[in-house]
Structure formats: C-alpha cells, structure tokens
Amino acid sequence: MKTKLLFFLQKMEKKEQKHFFEYVRSPFFNKNKKLLSLLAFLENYAPEYKSGELTAEKAYQSVYGTEDFNELRLNNLTSDLMQLLYDFFAYREYEKQPAQKIYWTGKALLRRDLPEQMKSVFRRFDNVRKKTVTKDAISIMHEVNYHDLKDEWTISGGKRGYSQSLIRKRELLEEYSFLRQLEIACDTVSRNAAIQANYNTTFIKEVINQYESDTKRWSSQPAILIYYTTLKMLMEPKAADHYQALKKLLQDHPEIFNKDELRTIYNFALNFCVRQINSGFVDYYEEVLTLYKILLDYRIIYKNGYLSQWTFTNICTAGIRLERYDWTTSFIRDYQDDLPPSHRTNVVNYNLAALYYAQKNWDKALQLLQTVIFTDAYYQTAAKTIQLKIYYENKELEAFLSLIDSFDKFIQRNRQLSAYQKKSNRNFISFAAKLSKIRESQYTRSKKICFENLDKLLEKIKETHPIANKNWLLTQAEKMKRC
C-alpha cells in the first residue's frame, strides 16, 4: 500500500504520530467513524508502516468488512484522512504561537460585543510580549495585532477618543513591510548568484533608497540593519567589509531571530564565503569553518534535530581543505550520530574516505569508497573524483584510464546533474586525461616537447571555465614541471 498518507506518517516522529491519532479520535475534529476504522488499521503498523501485511485490500476490509474491494472508495477515504493530517499540521503550528491565539481570542470577544473582558486579554498578551526576545518580522506582526486589538477596543461601544495604537499600528506595518522587502531582496540576489535564476532585481534599488533616505530610523532597528548589511554583502561580493560587519552584527544580536531565520542569514554569509573561494581567495575556508562552528555550538544548523548530510559534508570539506585533520576526525566521530539514520553510514564513509585521501592514506580511502551506496549523483561524482585522483597520483595507469572512460559516460548519461555540473566535471575529466597522457609521453618524447605541451595545457586549464577541481589540476601540472 503506497499512498501519500503513509509517506507523511513515516516522516513523522513516533510522538507526533500519537498526537495525530488523538486528533483524529477527537469528535470535535472528526465525526467520520469510517476514518476511525482506517486509522485503527494503520496504527497496527506504526511507526514504520513497512509490513507486507499493510495492503490496500486489508485496509478496505478493516473498514467495509466483506464488501467487494472498491479502490476508488478507499482512495476517497484515504484522501479524507490526509486532509485531517493537513489540518493537524496547521493546528500544531497554531499551537506554537501564543500571541496569535490571544489575538483571535480578543477578536472573538470584540465581535461578540464583550469589550469588558478585554483587560484580561491584554494582561495575557503583555505577558507574552515580555517573554518575547526576538525582533523579527513575525514579532513585529504580533505587535501590529496587539495594537490592532487596542485600537478596536478603544473605539468600541461608540467611543471616539484619540487612539495612539492607530498610529503605532501604521508605524509597525511600515517596519514589517520594509523588513519583508529586505528579506526578499536578499533571497533574490542570492538565488540569482547561486543558480542563475535571472529574477528581476529592479525593485532592489527602491529598497536601498528607502533605507538610505532615513538611515537614522532604520539603522536603529537591528533586524533591518542586519538584512540591509546582508543585502549589501550579496550585491558587492568584492567588498569584504560588509561581510565582516554582518558577522559582528550577528554576534551582537544573536537573540533577535528565531533559529530558522538565523540559519538562513548564516547561509547567506556562507554563500558569500564560497563565492570568494571560487574566485581564488582560499583563505575564506577559515571563515567557512568559523561560521559552521557557531552554527554547531548554538545548534542553529540543525533541522528536526538532525544535521543534514550536505551540511556535514561541507564542514568536513572545510576542515580537510584547512588540513585540520585531527579536528575533522573528531568532528566525524562526535557528530555522526546527529545525521539522519538513513544517510548516516554513507555520509560517514564518504567523508572518512575524503579525509584519508587528503592524508595520502589511499588504500583506506579506496576501501571506504567501495562501501558508499550511490543513491545520489553527488556522492557518485565525488567518490569517482577521489578515485581518479588516487589512481593518477599513484600512477595506476590502467585503473585510471578505465575510470576516465566510465566516469565520462556516467556524467553524460546522468539526469540528476545540471548542465553546469556536467560541463564542469567533463572538463575536469578531459584535462586529467591530458595530464596523464603528457606524463606518460615523457618516456617516449623529448623533455622539451613535453614541457611545451604542458605549458599549453596549463594555460588552457587557467582559461577554461567551469572546471571542477581546478586547483588539483594546476597543482599536478606544476608538480610535473618540477620533475
């Protein structure tokens, strides 16, 4: 039985599944008894839902008894249960927002012409506001809602007095709107740089002009100042002062954003560093590792309690490039249990292989790469790259030439890789093959001819874009020149 419902349930933690079952059994949320029967059947297979006994026919029988199987009828019932799951997700998110609950309580009281009850609502709202340390867009909107209630309460019952909340509500909405525009501007510039999305950016000039027309007001609000600085950093990648300013602002105001938003802003900073590295400023690997250490220490980088396989690999890569081999070894050992169980073995083995390669422990690296299960084009490409480098550096010509051929065919045929990734990797394969050919020709040609061919190849490598592992190719070519 393969349904979207089962896929979603498998993604949920055991505790959340239990809460969903309780939600469906509540007569307030569900009055359909057939859904209860279907739920009781599914619950027998929780929390994995992978038993061979979990079939559509048995699910139907649990609800409709001996009636002939009707797939459409079961699909409709499953769809109804899926809709309850969507409602459950929304309800859970609503439960996490006490300010929103209080706001709608106040709105309900005012609609029922019960303004005398509003004092207790504002007391509860004030308590929530005192406990709120974030100053992000969501917090600003809660303030808008607070003053919206105050304003409506002030004029309720025919009163027409002066309302300071009306003015404050307008000011806060201005701040909210401007902050959201800055967020969108940052995302737009970042995506255009990362994936050549070609989003229209004409609105960004207006956003910058709005900030610079009232710098005193906007710079006094840390959230707006942080996003403005982020935008400047993304738009002016050669101006490192914006990056340094952003880093200091994040250190000075760690509490004003929730973890999800902080992760997004730190990712903007990481993307800036990666662009610097790709431009030849390899010192930025130090910055990358520093940022990741902050994200780890405060658990900002975690999603649903786990480190993603890509984050884990990026951290290992930074450690390896900086030759912090002991630190990288400790990181893999200490943080491997924070990886999702489904990816854990693969990710650990691949990164250990990359570490062993960097330490020139090639036998161990090749041994571990044989254990990596290639479910993703990234790992297959990265693993083949390490293998190719080892065969080249170890002068295993037959294995090298065989891999060159199979690697190139894999890149051509793979549908997961983008056109850019294909071109970049095929250029690497081509130049690696040419380097090997020149090295082998040293035994049959004069040194002068070999050096001339090598100089031409070096120039071509420098001029060609994109090339994966460009620095490795240049290093190997320079090594050959020194021999």
The pLDDT value recorded for residue 234 is 94
Q: What value does the mean pLDDT take over residues 414-443?
A: 89
DSSP notation for 277-313? HHTT-TTHHHHHHHHHHHHHHTTTT-BTTB--HHHHH
In a domain, 328, yes or no: no
Residue 306, strand partner residues: 303
The closest of 119, 168, 124 to 147, measured between CA atoms, is: 168
2 pLDDT band, cuts 50/70/90, is confident
CA 390 – CA 467 distance, rounded (Å): 19
In a domain, 351, yes or no: no
The pLDDT value recorded for residue 124 is 96
Q: Write the pLDDT tens digit of every residue in 75-89.
A: 999 999 999 999 999
What domain range is 23 assigned to?
4-95
Residue finishing a domain among 46, 79, 95: 95
CA 355 – CA 365 distance, rounded (Å): 8
In a domain, 432, yes or no: yes
Residue 25: which residues within 8 A CB-CB, separation 6 or more? 36, 39
Q: What value does the mean pLDDT take over residues 240-253?
A: 95
pLDDT greater than 80 at residue 447: no
Q: What are 307's two structure tokens?
A: 């480190």
In a domain, 427, yes or no: yes
Residue finishing a domain among 74, 95, 116: 95
The pLDDT value recorded for residue 348 is 95
Any idea of the CA torsion for 130, 132, 134, 138, to the nearest 10 degrees?
-110
Q: Write the pLDDT tens digit of every residue in 390-425.
A: 999 999 999 999 999 999 999 999 888 888 889 999
In a domain, 405, yes or no: yes
Residue 394: which residues within 8 A CB-CB, separation 6 or more? 362
Residue 483 gets which letter from DSSP?
Answer: -
Residue 117 gets which letter from DSSP?
Answer: G
In a domain, 302, yes or no: no
In a domain, 9, yes or no: yes
Residue finishing a domain among 95, 116, 131: 95
CA 409 – CA 213 distance, rounded (Å): 56
pLDDT greater than 90 at residue 292: yes
pTM: 0.83
- The answer to whether the CB of 230 falls within 8 A of the CB of 246 is yes
Quote the mean pLDDT of the chain: 92
205 pLDDT band, cuts 50/70/90, is very high
In a domain, 387, yes or no: yes
Number of domains the chain is built from? 2
